[in-house]
Amino acid sequence: MANIELIEKLSNAFGVSGYEHDVRDILKREVREYADKVEVDVLGNLIALKNIQKKGHMVALNAHMDEVGLIVDYIEDDGFLRFKKVGGIDDRVLPGKRVLIGKSKIPGVIGIKAIHLQSKEDEKKAVPSKNLYIDIGAKNREEAEKIVPLSTPVVFKTKFEKISRSVYIGKAFDDRLGCAIAAELLKKDYNFPLMVLFTTKEEIGLRGAAVGTYKYTPDISITIEGTISADLPEVKDHLKCTKIKKGPVITIKDSGVITDNDLREKLISVAKRKKIPYQFKQVIAGGTDSYRIQLSKRGVKVLTVAVPVRYIHSPVSLFNIEDYDNTLKLIGEFLKIL
């Protein structure tokens, strides 16, 4: 069953791409006593190894620690912060949201011109993120700069919580759900060498994963994700990508990977035998760390399994804990047959 406490801690943690320290610390503490060796590499990836002395093919589980967010790139004379987006965020989710800035988690709000002052044209147009700003309540640039130096990262201020039976909301489920599953799976016993790779900088171009399997290179790698679900009103059935409450999402092909046919068939047969619901990712778009990992040295066989999540890359996303449990179970059962 799901370790809700761990998911909560990970979801609430601060970890914009390139600033994954908090997430890494949580995961390090979580896996330390179950791993033979825990390392952090040059790009900040966290690598936990188990059974390295054992013979056999090495299996890797990987998930990324970073989340989408913002970064402060300019400060106005009157103390307002301008920002750039880190990762793919729809501009339309930004106005009117609360954020936390930097290590000391300075609170701020993303303002917008009051509706009363908008022209008919303004009302209909989305505000491009380059025109938005964060208000930290500073009175001028000097004051703001002291508290928030340029390049300080910013996350959405969203608390993890349960809103109805089996349904949770929070930020960064992409990919803290994958991190939680990978950490949980590491705690079990295996008779083959296992590597769990928590990567950095996924949202800015799969950068951590590009080097994460260089020192230790697995034979098989399973990328665990929180993936897009568009089972929303007015979305045609074949465009929903994935649906919540329909089980783990198995990727056949995305923009950078065709997952290994044999392994995928084995994974599906495990799901069938164990009566675990599953679904295929419908849209051939988006990429994951498995793209980089499959290219390591002579090549790595990869699979991608994900928990369906609505509204990823926004201030608040939503998932069903049954999907999480089934994803954990499916990968767990699959590892048993290797």
Partner 1 sequence: MDEALLRRLTDMSAVSGEEEKLHHLLESKLSSFVEKTNSLKNGSFYALKKGSPGKCTLMLDAHIDEVGAFVTGVTKEGFLRIHSCSIDKKILPGAIVFIHGKETIKGVIGLKPYHLETPEEIKKAVPMDKLFVDCGMSKEDIEKIVRIGDTVSFTTDFLHLQNFISNKSIDDRVGVYVIVEVLRNLKRKTPVVNVVGHFASQEEVTGLGAITSTYYLKPDFAIAIDVTHGTSPDVFKRDAFELGKGPVVFLGPGIDSVVLRKIVDTAKKYNIPIQKEVDISSGTDQVEIQIVGKGIPSVVVSVAERYMHTPVEVIDMEDVQKIINLLTLFIEDLDEQFMEALYGEH
Rounded to an integer, what distance in angstroms lies between the CA atom of residue 212 and that of residue 149? 30
Smaller CB distance to partner 1: residue 43 or 93?
A: 93
CB of 79 to partner 1, least distance (A): 8
Does the protein bind partner 1 through residue 158 (CB under 8 A)?
A: yes
With beta carbons less than 8 A apart as the criterion, state whether 154 and 83 touch.
yes
Smaller CB distance to partner 1: residue 38 or 204?
A: 204
Q: 275 burial class (0-12, 13-18, 19+ CB within 10 angstroms)?
A: exposed
Rounded to an integer, what distance in angstroms lies between the CA atom of residue 221 and that of residue 241? 23
Does the protein bind partner 1 through residue 265 (CB under 8 A)?
A: no
Smaller CB distance to partner 1: residue 168 or 216?
A: 168
Task: Indicate if 202 belongs to the active site.
Answer: yes
Calculate ∠ Cα 284-88-92, nearest 5°. 110
CB of 92 to partner 1, least distance (A): 5
Note the Cα 24 to chain centre separation in Å.
13
Footprint of partner 1 on 185-214 (CB under 8 A): none
68-107 footprint of partner 1 as x/- string (CB under 8 A): --------x-x-x-------x-xxxxxxxxx-------xx
Among the listed residues 8, 184, 202, 203, the single catalytic one is: 202
Smaller CB distance to partner 1: residue 46 or 75?
A: 75
Beta-ladder partners of 105: none
With beta carbons less than 8 A apart as the criterion, state whether 99 and 110 touch.
yes
Calculate ∠ Cα 27-28-33, nearest 5°. 110
CB of 193 to partner 1, least distance (A): 37
**Number of other residues whose CB lies within 10 A of the CB of residue 217:** 17
* Chosen residue from 21, 28, 157, 274 binding partner 1 by CB under 8 A: 157
Kindly give the interhelix angle for 173-186 and 21-31, rounded to the nearest 10 degrees.
20
Residue among 313, 333, 320, 329 nearest 7 (CA): 320
CB of 233 to partner 1, least distance (A): 5
Smaller CB distance to partner 1: residue 306 or 331?
A: 306
CB of 237 to partner 1, least distance (A): 12
Rounded to an integer, what distance in angstroms lies between the CA atom of residue 50 and that of residue 36? 5
With beta carbons less than 8 A apart as the criterion, state whether 219 and 262 touch.
no
Smaller CB distance to partner 1: residue 46 or 241?
A: 241
* Chosen residue from 51, 294, 314, 326 binding partner 1 by CB under 8 A: 314
273-312 footprint of partner 1 as x/- string (CB under 8 A): ----------x-xx-----------------------xxx
With beta carbons less than 8 A apart as the criterion, state whether 327 and 251 touch.
no
Exposure on the CB side of residue 218, measured as CA atoms within 13 A: 31
Does the protein bind partner 1 through residue 169 (CB under 8 A)?
A: yes
With beta carbons less than 8 A apart as the criterion, state whether 79 and 144 touch.
yes
CB of 6 to partner 1, least distance (A): 21
Does the protein bind partner 1 through residue 164 (CB under 8 A)?
A: yes
Footprint of partner 1 on 105-144 (CB under 8 A): 106-118, 123-128, 131, 133, 135-139, 143-144
225-254 footprint of partner 1 as x/- string (CB under 8 A): ---x-xxxxxx---x-x--x----------
Beta-ladder partners of 318: 169, 310
Count of residues in contact with partner 1, rule CB under 8 A: 72
With beta carbons less than 8 A apart as the criterion, state whether 63 and 225 touch.
yes
CB of 163 to partner 1, least distance (A): 5
What are the catalytic residues? 202
